[in-house]
Amino acid sequence: MAFKLYNAPQSTCSQRVRFVFNTKGLPFEEVKLNLLEGDQLKPDYLKLNPNGVVPTLDHDGQIVIDSTVITEYLDEIEPEQSFTPEDPVKRAAMRTLMHFADEMPAAAVRVPTFNLAFLPSFQKMSREDFVAFAESKPLRREFMLAMGQTGFPQSEMDAALKRLRRSYERMDAEIEKSGGPWLLGKEISLADVTIMPALVRMHDLGMVDWQDLPRVVTWFDNIRAHPAFKPTFYPGSLVSERFPHLRERQAKAG
Ligand SMILES: N[C@@H](CCC(=O)N[C@@H](CS)C(=O)NCC(=O)O)C(=O)O
């Protein structure tokens, strides 16, 4: 079995898949795409993933796209170290939380990420190049054009931060209901893996807003202590490592 993962070190969706690979100890070849240079929009890549995003899995020539689909696929073909509960009702609860993670924190985290991490790179582009880059994106065209080269307005930032806060509160309620320490109870599941990168990103941006939710604090400590965490977030996986202006911002904030 040969696995090739087209991904990007700092991509939150890629991090979900790397976490599953690393937990299972499955060797995989990593093809690293530079998303700011548009590797994901090149014709050969679009043949693999018409959405023009990472990650994409090539498993012995079979292509699987979409991070949550890939993580479920990996769990099906390699059930050792399973992330999926046996009980169908619990499976359904896991998938519900995976959908929630995609719709709420994973979508909301793009606003602070783009405004704080990526915007300076887009500001260096000419207006024409920026619009052409945005328009070449199958999935994120309108998102990029809405951000423009001045960034999302404060009202959008505030709304995204509120959506993130409600996501942490939802996590807190789920952990309380299941008895923890993970979202569905004693065993880590794909729900935890799916939601994880949004919290890592907010932590990386210096915008932690869950300190008053001790169950979420413990959850975050636990996932960072998981053996798969370090190999997943290898050096260069954090936006603060890639963009020096973020380190300056964090240093100023103390
Ligand atoms: N639903 C997709 C979303 C993938 C996605 O948004 N990937 C981002 C990185 S986390 C990307 O490739 N962005 C490139 C772009 O916006 O051009 C998945 O879960 O795989």
Is the omega angle on the peptide bond into residue 55 within 30 degrees of 0, that is, cis? yes
Cα distances from 53 to residues 145, 146, 254, in angstroms, run 17, 18, 34
DSSP class of residue 1? -
Predicted pLDDT at 244:
86
Amino acid identity, position 77: I
Which of the four pLDDT bands, split at 50, 70 and 90, describes residue 247?
A: confident
Query: For residues 6-23, b (16+ Cβ closer than 10 Å) or e, as one string?
Result: bbbbbbbbbbbbbbbbbb
Q: Residue 62 class from Cβ within 10 Å (0-12 exposed, 13-18 middle, 19+ buried)? A: exposed
Interval 234-245 mean pLDDT: 95
- What digits encode the pLDDT tens for the residues 195-210? 999 999 999 999 999 9
Instruction: With residue 130 as reference, give the H or E element that holds it.
Output: helix 127-135
Contact 6, 49 (CB under 8 A): yes
Closest C-alpha to 137, from 7, 42, 13: 42
- What amino acid occupies position 56? T
For 88-253, which CATH class? mainly alpha
The domain spans of the chain are 3-77, 88-253
Q: 110-143 pLDDT, tens per residue?
A: 999 999 999 999 999 999 999 999 999 999 999 9
Tokens matching residue 18: 């790397």
The token duo for 134 is: 């945005």
Q: Which of 139, 142, 239 to mutate to test the pocket of ligand 1 (most atoms within 8 A of CB)?
A: 139
For the stretch 21-59, pLDDT in tens is 999 999 999 999 999 999 999 999 999 999 999 999 999
Instruction: Pick 106 or 250 by higher pLDDT.
Output: 106
Give, to the nearest 10 degrees, the angle between helix 67-77 and helix 190-204: 140
According to DSSP, the residues that pair with 31 across neighbouring strands are 6
Q: Is 43 exposed, middle or buried (0-12, 13-18, 19+ CB in 10 A)?
A: exposed
The minimum-distance atom of ligand 1 relative to the CA of 144 is: 16
CA 118/CA 116 separation, integer angstroms = 6
Question: Atom 5 of ligand 1 has which residue's CA nearest to it?
Answer: 53
Ligand 1: list residues with CB < 6 Å: 11-13, 35, 40, 52-55, 66-68, 137, 140
Report whether pLDDT(183) > 90.
yes
Helix, strand, coil percent values for the chain (each to nearest 5): 60, 5, 30
Residue with tokens 């599953």: 20
Fold classification of 3-77 is: Glutaredoxin (3.40.30)
In the chain, the percentage of residues whose pLDDT exceeds 90 is 95
